[in-house]
A and B are shown apart, each in its own frame.
Chain A
Amino acid sequence: MSDKVLYVMYDDDEVLKHSAKKLVSKGVKISEVFSPFPIHGIDPIIGVKNTRLGIMAFLYGLIGLTLATIGMRYFMVVDWPMNIGGKPNFSYLENMLAFVPISFEFTVMCAAHGMAITYLLRNKTLPGMPAQNPDPRTTDDKFVMEIRLSENHSVTEAELDSMLQEIGYLELDKKEIK
């Protein structure tokens, strides 16, 4: 399906935010915003939902804690109860205090790495991947809104052009996607 994409460029984050607000109020769907740094407050305007990676980090942490507990119980209590100074490890609970540091460290390790890997996979950013931004200047000082015609059936291209003309922009680039 062929589609036309409009890349509307601005040189200021606040100006882009204003324009996005105006466009959205006129019923235009903005599919993406590319910026060199996070623009605070843009997400609710263009309808980006908050990420759930925090929940994932918590779950990874729980997995880490469980693994550490199972592992240390097996090594120190079940498989070979080490007798140190006549004080053998009869149960996990009796020996728990010595296991606190590693339980904590392993929880943090699993939470942090699990979340970081999920983050990279969800973003589709992995070593050697090609750059995904439409214009190399969006990692420097330019801010780009992406509007797809296929997602905006209520407005025609001409209407969109006049809207943008009225709101103002720095540069406008149109691309056909096949």
Chain B
Amino acid sequence: MQKEAAIREPLILGHKTYHDVTEDVCRPIEDKAPKMWYILFGIALVIGLYGVGSIMYLLGTGIGVWGLNKTIGWAWDITNFVWWVGIGHAGTLISAVLLLFRQKWRMAINRSAEAMTIFAVFMAGTFPLIHMGRLWVGYWVMPIPNQFGSLWVNFNSPLLWDVFAISTYLSVSLVFWYIGLIPDFATIRDRAKKPLAKKMYSILSFGWSGRAKHWNRFELVSLVLAGLATPLVFSVHSIVSFDFATSVIPGWHTTIFPPYFVAGAVFSGFAMVQTLLLIMRKAMGLEAYIHTKHVEYMNIVIMVTGSIVGTAYITELFISWYSGVEYESYAFINRATGPYWWAYWSMMTCNVISPQLMWIRRLRRSLLFTFFISIVVNIGMWFERYVIIVTSIHRDYIPAAWSMHFPSHIDIAVYLGTIGLFFVFFLLFARYFPVLALNEVKTILKGSGQSYKESPDYHKHH
């Protein structure tokens, strides 16, 4: 058993036993769902279905139904894609990087953060797929021997790198998540009373035993997966940024993009985790496991990554002037003072100023304030992508081709639809899956639980 310093705040509040941990996590799954769950699920489902309908309409009619034009060929679609992929970065970061750094607070939040990651990457993947227009030939992005002769996908293209990056990220995150879920499904299986539930959780738990040898393998597999997933997290968003950085468009052709995108992704991902967990902990009665200290840790990550993002914005601005390239300077002056000034300044306010408020201890420990800032950051990070994408291309080289982007009804419906579907998935997860890595939490109970830390024996040496 691992001991920690007395001044460290306990990670599990109250007097919990191993059995209490099981009870607290399994009860919401075994009990009837509260009325609020049905209401939220209904709302999310309606919005999600509206999005699905809009996608059908889009596929049937063509991507002309989006508000794109010949100058602005990429707008909400790719903005939403990058936004969702960014959100999908916190989960694997929490589980992988924090596991490598032995941060025990990750155990309370990693399960739901990873679920969020997977659902967010699902939503992200939707956009490039529907953007193809012909969804049914989506498999052409894979290098498959074909009837067209020696026709292969272009391995020099960052768009193809993205195909590999996103599919690797999605599938590896899924496996990482599921391997952690197996022992917890086994706990639910062994408690289940209803035959259908027993059967379902029995299938899901793969017959998990809890043998010492299996736990030995489990811990190594988690560690190696974390080791593999850590560079993966960084590579995925770097590659997403290559989609822009390897082009020659002023405003996109920037070497600072990879680190800046990765920091931005972690920043927005943690904000989304905060939004979801602050509601979930309350709704499911998990306040003892996810409490102010966890929120504070996450706010510190938001503050640090937000500061990196802010520094990147200012560096970008400075370099555009310092480079002496007039097109480059124009792209940035136009961002701040051109027709999209409002998008630029909302991005600056939301992403540069708001995380700096987290330096104040009282604010970063306030749950209400955190919730508010998490929404602000989500909005700000959407605008960041919108600003980078649309303002860089809306002023073409020939003034006759200058244009503006106005989202169509379908643009908005597809975007809101993915938010709806995301919540459909997340609510189903919260209803049927163990939202806390309950068996892992038990391993830190004696080291970081309040009742253990406060007991007089804790600081005695065994």
A residues near B, CB below 8 A? 14, 32-40, 42-43, 46, 48, 50-51, 53-54, 57, 71-72, 75-76, 79-80, 82, 84, 95, 98-99, 101-102, 104-106, 108-109, 111-113, 115-116, 119-120, 122-133, 136-141
Q: Say what secondary structure dominates the interface of chain B.
A: helix
Q: Using a Cβ–Cβ cut-off of 8 Å, how many residues does chain B contribute to the interface with A?
A: 67
A48 touching B224, Cβ below 8 Å: no
**In the bound complex, how far is the Cα of B176 from the Cα of A105, in angstroms?**
16
**In the bound complex, how far is the Cα of B206 from the Cα of A133, in angstroms?**
12
Instruction: Provide the residues of chain B in CB contact with A115, threshold 8 Å.
Output: 221, 224-225
Give the segment of B61-69, B152-160, B273-281 that binds chain A.
B152-160
What's the minimum C-beta distance from B42 to chain A, rounded to whole angstroms? Answer: 31
Instruction: Provide the residues of chain A in CB contact with B220, threshold 8 Å.
Output: 50-51, 53-54
Q: Is B212 an interface residue (CB 8 A)?
A: yes
**In the bound complex, how far is the Cα of B154 from the Cα of A79, in angstroms?**
12
B443 touching A53, Cβ below 8 Å: no
B172 touching A112, Cβ below 8 Å: yes
**In the bound complex, how far is the Cα of B439 from the Cα of A34, in angstroms?**
13
A98 touching B172, Cβ below 8 Å: no
B206 touching A129, Cβ below 8 Å: yes
Given that A102-B164, A140-B19 are known contacts, is A125 also in contact with B211, CB under 8 Å in the complex?
no
What's the minimum C-beta distance from B266 to chain A, rounded to whole angstroms? Answer: 19
Instruction: Provide the residues of chain B in CB contact with A75, threshold 8 Å.
Output: 143, 152-153, 155
Q: Say what secondary structure dominates the interface of chain A.
A: helix
B residues near A, CB below 8 A? 1-2, 17-19, 22, 143, 150-156, 158, 160-161, 164-165, 167-168, 171-172, 175-176, 179, 182-183, 186-187, 189-191, 202-221, 224-225, 228-229, 231-232, 235, 239, 242, 439-440, 442-443, 446
Instruction: Provide the residues of chain B in CB contact with A95, threshold 8 Å.
Output: 156
A38 touching B216, Cβ below 8 Å: yes
Instruction: Provide the residues of chain B in CB contact with A54, threshold 8 Å.
Output: 220, 224
Instruction: Provide the residues of chain B in CB contact with A46, threshold 8 Å.
Output: 212
Given that A48-B216, A99-B155, A109-B172 are known contacts, is A53 also in contact with B190, CB under 8 Å in the complex?
no
What's the minimum C-beta distance from A77 to chain B, rounded to whole angstroms? Answer: 10
Q: 6 interchain pairs (CB within 8 A)?
A: A38-B443, A39-B215, A40-B443, A104-B235, A116-B221, A140-B19
**In the bound complex, how far is the Cα of B208 from the Cα of A92, in angstroms?**
46
**In the bound complex, how far is the Cα of B179 from the Cα of A157, in angstroms?**
39
Instruction: Provide the residues of chain A in CB contact with B202, threshold 8 Å.
Output: 128, 130-131
**In the bound complex, how far is the Cα of B212 from the Cα of A46, in angstroms?**
9
Q: Which residue of A lies closest to B176 (CB)?
A: A112
A139 touching B186, Cβ below 8 Å: yes
What's the minimum C-beta distance from A106 to chain B, rounded to whole angstroms? Answer: 7
Instruction: Provide the residues of chain B in CB contact with A76, threshold 8 Å.
Output: 152, 155-156
A84 touching B156, Cβ below 8 Å: yes
Given that A37-B215, A122-B217 are known contacts, is A141 also in contact with B186, CB under 8 Å in the complex?
no
B217 touching A119, Cβ below 8 Å: yes
Instruction: Provide the residues of chain B in CB contact with A42, threshold 8 Å.
Output: 212
**In the bound complex, how far is the Cα of B201 from the Cα of A136, in angstroms?**
13
Given that A39-B215, A46-B212, A130-B202 are known contacts, is A141 also in contact with B19, CB under 8 Å in the complex?
yes
B165 touching A101, Cβ below 8 Å: yes
**In the bound complex, how far is the Cα of B182 from the Cα of A126, in angstroms?**
10
Instruction: Provide the residues of chain B in CB contact with A126, threshold 8 Å.
Output: 206-207
B207 touching A129, Cβ below 8 Å: yes
A102 touching B175, Cβ below 8 Å: no
A116 touching B225, Cβ below 8 Å: yes
B152 touching A34, Cβ below 8 Å: no
Among B19, B207, B208, B443, which residue has the most Cβ atoms of chain A within 10 A? B207
B155 touching A51, Cβ below 8 Å: no
Q: Which residue of B lies closest to A144 (CB)?
A: B210
A132 touching B235, Cβ below 8 Å: no
**In the bound complex, how far is the Cα of B205 from the Cα of A150, in angstroms?**
31
Q: Which residue of B lies closest to A124 (CB)?
A: B207
B18 touching A36, Cβ below 8 Å: yes
